[in-house]
Amino acid sequence: MARRRVLLLSLAFLGSLYYHKAYGIDVYTEKEHVTAREFEEAILSCIYKAKKVTNLRIEWKKVRSSGVSFIYYNRNFVGNFTGRAEMWNSSIRLRNVTRHDAGRYRCEISAATEQGQDAAETEVSLLVLVPPALPVCMVPSSAMSGTVIELRCKENEGVPASNYRWYRNGIALLEKPGSKRGKKGRVSYTMNTVTGTLQFNPVSNNDTGEYYCEAANGIGPPRKCPVKRMQVACCGLGVYYAQTKGYFSKKNSSMEKSSKHSTTQNENDFKHTKSFII
């Protein structure tokens, strides 16, 4: 008798599963991960299958770390989706996508069935591709030979994140240069294309030139910062200052006196160059 009761309960449970499958709601998306360029359009897919349902209700929400917020509720779009989104059955066509639209969305569908109230949901992620902004470059105007110098380049708007390349006198610097630079000695710079840094360790007079950085992420054209000149002193700061200011002219009969005088001048004029790493 007990076995018969268990068998009947099992059959009843299986029957309820079949009934739910036949008369419940099945919700899914055709594309879970959607990618769109900024200012173009995106389709957030949500499809449902149901039989013998009434009072069908469709809601869309944006899922954030702080919670969820409605974007489609009571048959109307809300917030900044108003006027630029439309429903395609239960899917959303979003025009003029912006970077602020990126995120995860949830489609929730509920209805009354012969079994009672039933509901199901699915989620879609939206990635908005954004071209790089104009990068900001930090290049010292002067440096002393033999010191460590770091040039920096950064932009924070591109999606995906930008890669960077430095140029000197209009020529791209190699990401992985060879071990030698002709007869002038070993290559002294390291370029990081991910962080945008260009480090000279140490810098030499041969590194004097006009520098700029280029940011690119494959979305839109690359962007480059304005050209900036870096002048590297070939020797001590006092001598460099005297050379650039003309203290070594033909009228000076003693180079030693000129050098001593320029060194005195240099102590005040080059206080800001004690550190050349920016």
Q: What radius of gyration, in Å, describes the C-alpha atoms of the chain?
A: 34
Say what percent of the chain tops pLDDT 70: 72
Tell me the average pLDDT across 98-112: 95
Mean of the pLDDT values across residues 209-218? 98
Contact 249, 190 (CB under 8 A): no
Residues comprising the chain, all counted: 278
With 70 as the cut, is the pLDDT of residue 264 above it? no
| 234-252 mean pLDDT | 43
Q: Which domains does the chain have, with CATH numbers?
A: 25-129 (2.60.40.10), 136-234 (2.60.40.10)
pLDDT reading at 134 higher than 80: yes
3-17, 135-149, 182-196, 209-223: the lowest-pLDDT one: 3-17
Q: What is the mean pLDDT of the chain?
A: 80
CB 209 within 8 A of CB 168: yes
Q: What is the pLDDT of residue 235?
A: 63
CB atoms near residue 174 (< 10 Å): 12
pLDDT at 50: 81
Tell whether the model's pLDDT for residue 59 goes beyond 50: yes
Q: What is the pLDDT of residue 24?
A: 75
What's the predicted TM-score (pTM) here? Answer: 0.69
Phi/psi for 223 (5° steps) reads: -120, 145
Q: Where is pLDDT greater, at 178 or 269?
A: 178
Residue in the block written with tokens 């076995």: 3
CA distance 112 to 107: 17
Of the candidates 248, 252, 228, 250, the one whose C-alpha atom is nearest the C-alpha of residue 238 is 248
Report the pLDDT value the prediction gives residue 247, as an integer from 0 to 100: 33
Q: ∠ CA(121), CA(127), CA(130), 5° rounding?
A: 160
3-class SS of residue 242: helix
Determine the pLDDT at residue 225.
97
